[in-house]
Amino acid sequence: MADIVAITLLRHGLTVANERKAYLGWTDSPLSIKGEKEILDLRGSYPQYEKIYTSDLPRCVETARLLFPDIVPVKNASFREMNFGSWEGQTYDDLKADEDYLNWLERPMKALVPGGESYPGFSERVNNGWKQLIACKENRFAIMTHGGVIRDLLVRYAPKEKNFFDWGISHGRGYELIWEDRNSLRRGERCTLLQAAPIMGKLNG
């Protein structure tokens, strides 16, 4: 029997800062009232996972607790969102006169965020965490993380190539990536099947 591995990538619930459309990386913001309700409405929509891994930031840990109350998540800082440095908590309107910010908008995949990360540095961190994670023995597990992390992993491992910003991930939802055998996963090959998670839901973001 093939050693099938299924990994679900989930985005944390809607936060107060998300509602303001503010940049939210390593700083944190609590789930909003709407966000918490949306997550509770999704409880029971997901299958039983052998383990839940999560970014160590509270918004991810809390979302995992609400969705999977019977599982204690394993925290991993490698799966944090990109560090937005001095732009944390600020919106486009707050930053639209900032020259560094405008330069970053022109080259978001290369430019360094002041006091934060560049995309290459962020991507390397996430991939290093991923390589450690896939050494585990579980065949079906989930990672509760952030939109940027999920997009970065999909760019690398989705069956069909798409650009980073072409992936849409709604809060509390995500994608399940399936490999037909563990060796192909460990060799860094793209997954053979990708499906929205939960299957009954519809991504809208």
Residues that constitute the known binding site for substrate: 11-18, 59
* Chain center to CA of 20: 19
**Angle, alpha carbons 4-9-12 (nearest 5°):** 155
Tokens coding 4: 């099938």
Three state DSSP letters for 145-193: ECHHHHHHHHHHHCCCCCCHHHCCCCCCCEEEEEECCHHHHHCCCCCCE
Question: What is the rounded distance in angstroms from the CA atom of residue 7 to the CA atom of residue 190?
Answer: 12
Residues 74 and 136 sit within 8 Å (Cβ to Cβ) = no
CA distances from 89 to 19, 61, 149 (A): 11, 20, 18
Tokens coding 161: 């190539």
Binding-site sequence positions:
11-18, 59
